[in-house]
Amino acid sequence: MPSDNIKAYLSLGYTDMRKSINGLFILVSEHMELNPFSGNLFVFCNRRQNMIKVLYWDKNGFCLWHKRLEKHFFKWATSQREIIMIGKRELSWLMDGLFIHQAEAHKPLQYSVLY
């Protein structure tokens, strides 16, 4: 998994899972209007919500992860075609079959000084 401060961009709605690296690259650069070479993760889901693909640039080439659920479904927002950014924590929740917005999760804290 890339670094802890990585961003993941979810392409909401449905994506044709026949697309591979080149097709997803075009979706990221032209439709999402983001930089596919940024090292960030770009996440896509199929219509049945049982398959996710994650595209990202790693130093000298693209990586493509593909996860297919045999029995269950991903909690994927499908009501509108837009992009949302999530962190590594939320992406982990998504891959575990949970909603990316967990009401009972502890909120991250950031301090500038600790006594």
8-11 vs 41-45, strand pairing mode = parallel
Rounded to whole angstroms, the Cα distance separating 42 from 11 reads 7
- pLDDT tens for residues 74-108? 888 766 657 888 888 888 888 888 887 776 666 77
pLDDT over 90 for what percent of the chain? 47
Q: What is the pLDDT of residue 17?
A: 94
| pLDDT averaged over every residue in the chain | 86
Task: Tell me the pTM.
Answer: 0.82
The residue ranking higher by pLDDT, 109 or 9, is 9
